[in-house]
């Protein structure tokens, strides 16, 4: 069932992204007077196909990893004389630029619309209040303290841990000094902190900016009381019940749920003697945690149990919501910021400041799509917007084969007044295919390593 959910999540995500991207090409081509022969979502043999009044064929193919819009073009087939004015290659260079650029632009528009939906409907966010600072860490050296809220990074206000993480990830691979501002939780006086970085997070395959700084977000104390027991798990098999309070494991006292989790994770396939308090009585259970492997190859224990819910301090959970028209501006700003972050990440990857292990292929996209879908509509929409931006940026890179490569040729033609020689275009296409193929192989390899 989980595998099916993952596959369906990937198909839905890629289906939306590819359809929007190709519709951008299609819509502008039609308005520029170009005849569209086929609009296909997916590659390979079509599962469904139909035609419209313009004799354009629409197809949904069985390999959902892309799509294409096929246009009338004398470079690809013989075109009847009465239709030559409808051929793509007969259009002015500026019309061809508009048609090619429309695909990536459609992805950016999708991101704006998606973020708009999130901002209009509202979302919950955790205030970036520090719970603990690791001794001798960068955070401690900069003077950051527990129970202080981070309010700005490099002068830009931050209101949630998500905004803090994104602002810090933008500094990955950097050297120099960054400025953070904090204030005591629900206080007024702000304190400025200077953090010195030296190729920070460079080369890390799974960068964790908060952990690297030595910051642990605030979390209310979770008592070691069971709130949920999952059917088929080790907790159920051992006889653990809802409302049981964990007192000790192998005669070691348990103070809170996080300590209990740490013990379980370090005890895969080990039989533990667990003392619990149940309805005022002491009960001893024999518990053997199951084992599962993480992406880095480590095995950890798990039992299939969750804690009782606890209340967060007032004001710690913030509702972020904007009006219908204000959300348009906020969505555009968010899309612009994420585009800059994506471009900067690519630059840092090229110069070696970020590990190429961060490249992801369809397997990782499928997994994250599935996880975001399970997290609810807001989570999925945010993920969809980010992937749409990534697809738009990737397609605008000046690599032949991609839209950006075609745009490069057309801009050269616009400046020089003549097309790029066919031999030069063919050479560029071969180089582009080799480069793109190499990137795909790295992405697939990274996906398999994460499995």
Cα dihedral: 85, 90, 93, 94 (round 10)? 20
Task: Give residue 55's Cα distance to chain centre.
Answer: 39
**How far is residue 229 from each of residues 43, 56, 302, 413, 433, measured CA to CA in Å?**
44, 56, 12, 66, 52
Nearest-angstrom CA–CA distance, 351 and 439: 15
CA distance 63 to 284: 54
Rounded CA-CA distance 345/343 in Å is 5
Q: How far is CA 103 from CA 79, 86, 107, 109, in A?
A: 25, 20, 7, 10
Q: How far is CA 92 from CA 32, 97, 215, 292, 437, in A?
A: 10, 9, 56, 59, 31
Q: Give the position of tokens 């955070």.
A: 139
First to last CA, the chain: 18
Handedness of CA 310, 314, 320, 324 (dihedral sign): positive
**Which long-range contacts does 376-379 make (Cβ < 8 Å, 24+ apart)?**
378/118, 378/121, 378/123
Cα 205 to the center of its chain, rounded Å: 15
Dist CA 97 CA 94 (whole Å): 5
Q: Of these residues, 22, 140, 275, 422, which one is catalytic?
A: 22
Instruction: Give the span between the Cα atoms of 87 and 239, in whole angstroms.
Output: 73
**Neighbour tally for 77: CB within 10 Å:** 9
SS3 (DSSP) at 417: coil
Is the distance from CB of 22 to CB of 69 less than 8 angstroms?
yes
* Torsion over CA: 233, 234, 235, 240 (sign): positive
Does 378 participate in catalysis according to the annotation? no
Question: Annotated catalytic sites, by residue?
Answer: 22
């Amino acid at each position: 069932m989980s595998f099916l959910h993952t596959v369906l999540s990937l198909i839905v995500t890629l289906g939306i992204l590819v359809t929007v991207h190709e519709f951008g090409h299609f819509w502008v081509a039609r308005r520029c007077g170009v005849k569209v022969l086929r609009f296909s979502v997916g590659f390979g043999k079509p599962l469904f196909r139909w035609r419209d009044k313009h004799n354009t064929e629409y197809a949904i193919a069985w390999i959902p990893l892309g799509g294409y819009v096929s246009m009338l073009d004398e470079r690809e087939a013989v075109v009847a004389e009465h239709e030559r004015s409808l051929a793509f290659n007969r259009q002015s260079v500026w019309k061809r630029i508009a048609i090619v650029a429309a695909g990536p632009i459609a992805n950016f528009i999708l991101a704006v619309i998606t973020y708009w939906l999130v901002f209009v409907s509202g979302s919950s966010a955790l205030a970036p209040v520090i719970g603990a600072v690791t001794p001798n860490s960068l955070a401690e050296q900069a003077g950051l303290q527990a129970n202080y809220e981070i309010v700005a990074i490099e002068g830009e206000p931050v209101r949630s841990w998500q905004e803090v993480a994104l602002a810090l990830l933008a500094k990955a691979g950097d050297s120099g000094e960054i400025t953070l501002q904090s204030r005591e939780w629900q206080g007024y006086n702000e304190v400025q902190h200077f953090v010195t970085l030296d190729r920070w997070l460079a080369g890390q395959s799974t960068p964790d900016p908060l952990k690297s700084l030595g910051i642990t977000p605030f979390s209310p104390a979770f008592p070691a009381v069971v709130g949920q027991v999952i059917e088929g798990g080790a907790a159920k098999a051992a006889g653990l019940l809802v409302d049981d309070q964990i007192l000790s494991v192998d005669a070691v006292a348990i103070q809170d749920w996080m300590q209990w989790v740490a013990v379980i994770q370090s005890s895969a396939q080990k039989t533990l003697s667990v003392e619990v308090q149940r309805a005022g009585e002491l009960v001893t259970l024999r518990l053997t945690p199951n084992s599962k492997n993480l992406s880095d190859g480590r095995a950890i224990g798990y039992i299939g149990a969750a804690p009782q819910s606890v209340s967060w301090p007032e004001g710690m959970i913030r509702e972020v919501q904007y009006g219908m028209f204000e959300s348009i501006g906020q969505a555009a700003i968010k899309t612009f910021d994420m585009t800059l972050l994506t471009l900067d990440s690519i630059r840092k990857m090229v110069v070696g400041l970020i590990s190429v292990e961060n490249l992801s292929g369809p397997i990782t996209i499928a997994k994250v799509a599935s996880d975001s879908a399970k997290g609810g509509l807001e989570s999925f929409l945010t993920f969809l917007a980010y992937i749409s931006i990534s697809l738009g940026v990737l397609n605008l890179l000046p690599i032949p084969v991609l839209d950006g490569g075609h745009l490069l040729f057309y801009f050269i033609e616009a400046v020089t007044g003549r097309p790029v020689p066919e031999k030069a275009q063919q050479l560029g296409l071969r180089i582009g295919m080799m480069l793109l193929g190499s990137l795909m192989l790295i992405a697939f390899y990274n996906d398999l390593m994460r499995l």
